[in-house]
Structure 1
Amino acid sequence: MSIRYEKREGVAYITLDNPEKANILDKPTSDEISEAWIDLWEDRDIRCAIVTGTGDRHFCGGHNLAPLPDITEAERERLRTERIFWPLAGTVHGQRTGVDGRMGDHYPRVWKPVIAAVNGWAAGAGLYLLLACTDIRIASAEHARFKFALLTQGWLGRGPGATLLMKQLRYIDAMKILLTDEPVDAHEAHRIGLVNEVVPHDQLMERAERYARHIVKLPPVAVRMMKEFVVRFGEMPTDAAWHVQNLMNEMLIHTTLDGEEGRVAFNEKRPPDFNGTLRQKGEAYPELSEADRERLDKAYRSGDF
């Protein structure tokens, strides 16, 4: 096995576990991490995930660039060219469609929070993994390093690294990384907004787990919908995105019990117990008298409800 996949107390742990090969995303590792994303997506008891690597040298050192056996370099280039015009069904840029139905299989957006504990180098595909799949990023002060790692080989990259850097960082910071292809240390990554926090290496997992334990206590359906809203609709015009946000909020209120539990717990001065329980489909609202309709319309217009 090239990864370790564990589940404890509502948290999934995905650990790239091939330190002798820089925790690279070779074919076996890609297949295993794809299965982990699917399980994370489908297991309703899991509320968030932590992604990290074994050791203190590499979070993920990239793809396996070793030549394939029994295929010449010319044949490899031919297959790459053919893939542009005749991709296999169910693939995105040569990768199987991910669990989100959009990006490739090991770069999906699962609608649960994913925390990165960056223990070493995140280079090439390792940087893609960080950008595409993680929401909160904690970096080891001593060992975390970040590098695009493709321009110096004469490539722009088939993965989404350059695209996501431009969306997630300021223009000048993204361009410095992309055009120089020089490594960025943990503190510089924090300054430019690539990671949320930098901590001593021996506190890395403790800090990631602190975030995870906090998220596990939150209403799971609301957390899931918040992430989906931001990822799917965050780049829409403000008015349109706000409209979608309100529709999703009403759906949440009327189809789950967590919102009601939050209000009751607040009034009773106790911690809420969020479990993501869905409401059963109920009866239609009763007819209103004219007086009640007038009273409710007044409250509706005031917005005080």
Structure 2
Amino acid sequence: MALIYEKRNHIAYITLNRPQSHNAIDPETVVELVDAWQDFSQDRELRCAILTGAGEQSFCAGADLGKLIPLWTGARQAITDADQKVQANPLLAQQALLRDFPLTKPVIAAINGNAIAGGFEILYNTDIRIAAENARFGLQEVKWSIVPAGGSTVHLARQMPYARAMEMLLTGELIDARQAMEYGFINQVVPRDQVMAAAERYAAIIAKNGPLAVAAVKQAVLENSGKDVPAALAREMELSIPVFLSQDAQEGPRAFKERREPVYKGK
């Protein structure tokens, strides 16, 4: 399997599982990622996801230059079912990287190693990012006369200072985990063997919170980015009112008053 998809304690674990290829994204990975994201978004029991890579060297090296790119350019014929699906729908890969996949549930990135090209671009669509000390990040596309069109020219300068973003985009040089944290792109840098534990701590906290409130918060932030303040405030209220009227909103204050853990049902 190119992907390992597991569910535990309201948390989805999504693991890129091609360590021998630096977890590069091939057609099978594309199809399995899209299926996983769809299931995660629809399963009401799942409240948070952790995305990581197998092995100790790479989180994700981006698109598989031997299997995925040649399929798009016509240099390779479709052989597998996954090949045929990707060839029939080139936008499937963008959905796999969450570029064109609306998702209001939180995603935590447990970055166990290098995140390059598409492996870096998928991080734009995660909400909390934990990186191993050895991880490196970058967009090397311009070195090969390619545009990093997985959302980089849109998202990167919004998620770190403009000059730092342009430095990465125009030079194609890599940065290390400490630099990424200094630029505000990463939440934490930890030893490699502590990456998953740190991600799980965040996920456990989020999974205990009201799922309707969490989803509304994320949706409001995503939708209101770039809007003028009055319009953004109006949309925030539109998203907030249904949550205020929910059963969960009654359960939260009741549990606080009764000094117990709330039991949220997403209703």
Please list, as runs of the form range in 1=range in 2, the aligned pairs for 1:59-70 lying within 5 A after superposition.
Answer: 59-66=59-66
State how far apart, in whole Å, the 2-side matches of 1:237 and 1:266 are: 36
Between structure 1 and structure 2, the one with the greater Rg is 1
Please list, as runs of the form range in 1=range in 2, the aligned pairs for 1:24-103 lying within 5 A after superposition.
Answer: 24-66=24-66, 94-96=90-92
Q: How far does residue 14 in structure 1 lie from its aligned partner after superposition?
A: 0.4
State how far apart, in whole Å, the 2-side matches of 1:244 and 1:118 are: 33
State how far apart, in whole Å, the 2-side matches of 1:183 and 1:167 are: 19
State how far apart, in whole Å, the 2-side matches of 1:62 and 1:111 are: 24
Q: How far does residue 263 in structure 1 lie from its aligned partner after superposition?
A: 1.6
SS in 2 for 1:172: helix
TM-score, with length taken from structure 1 = 0.78
Match of 1:118 among 107, 111, 116: 111
RMSD after superposition: 2.3
State how far apart, in whole Å, the 1-side matches of 2:29 and 2:196 are: 22
Structure 2 letter corresponding to 1:129: I
State how far apart, in whole Å, the 1-side matches of 2:55 and 2:138 are: 18
Match of 2:229 among 235, 238, 255: 238
TM-score, with length taken from structure 2 = 0.89
Structure 2 letter corresponding to 1:3: L
Structure 2 letter corresponding to 1:139: A
Which residue is equivalent to 2:19?
Answer: 19
Summarize deviations over 1:184-227 as a string: whole Å, max 9, x none. Answer: 10000000011111011111111000001101100011111111
State how far apart, in whole Å, the 1-side matches of 2:69 and 2:153 are: 30
More RCO (CA 8 Å, sep 6+) = 2
Summarize deviations over 1:160-205 as a string: whole Å, max 9, x none. Answer: 1232112211111101111111111000000001111101111111
Structure 2 letter corresponding to 1:112: K
Kindly indicate whether residue 159 of structure 2 is the aligned counterpart of residue 163 of structure 1.
Answer: no
Q: How far does residue 105 in structure 1 lie from its aligned partner after superposition?
A: 3.9
Summarize deviations over 1:140-162 as a string: whole Å, max 9, x none. Answer: 01x21101020111111332123
State how far apart, in whole Å, the 1-side matches of 2:144 and 2:188 are: 30
Kindly indicate whether residue 247 of structure 2 is the aligned counterpart of residue 257 of structure 1.
Answer: yes
Identity of aligned residues (%): 38
Question: Structure 1 pair 272/18, CA: closer, same or farther in 2 (3 Å)?
Answer: same
Q: How far does residue 267 in structure 1 lie from its aligned partner after superposition?
A: 2.3
Summarize deviations over 1:62-120 as a string: whole Å, max 9, x none. Answer: 101127799897x66xxxxxxxxxxx9x96xx313x9xxxx634323421110000011
Where does the alignment leave 5 or more consecutive residues of structure 1 unmatched? 77-87, 278-305
> 2:10 touches 2:46 (CA, 8 Å); kept in 1?
yes
Please list, as runs of the form range in 1=range in 2, the aligned pairs for 1:195-214 lying within 5 A after superposition.
Answer: 195-214=186-205
Q: How far does residue 25 in structure 1 lie from its aligned partner after superposition?
A: 0.9
Match of 1:135 among 127, 133, 144: 127
State how far apart, in whole Å, the 1-side matches of 2:71 and 2:259 are: 67
Q: How far does residue 266 in structure 1 lie from its aligned partner after superposition?
A: 2.2
Structure 1 letter corresponding to 2:167: K
Summarize deviations over 1:117-149 as a string: whole Å, max 9, x none. Answer: 001110011011111x210000001x2110102
> 2:27 touches 2:67 (CA, 8 Å); kept in 1?
no
- Count the aligned residue pairs: 254
State how far apart, in whole Å, the 1-side matches of 2:60 and 2:102 are: 18
Match of 2:265 among 275, 291, 296: 275
SS in 1 for 2:13: strand
Which residue is equivalent to 1:148?
Answer: 139
Question: Structure 1 pair 15/257, CA: closer, same or farther in 2 (3 Å)?
Answer: same
State how far apart, in whole Å, the 1-side matches of 2:240 and 2:154 are: 30
SS in 2 for 1:212: helix
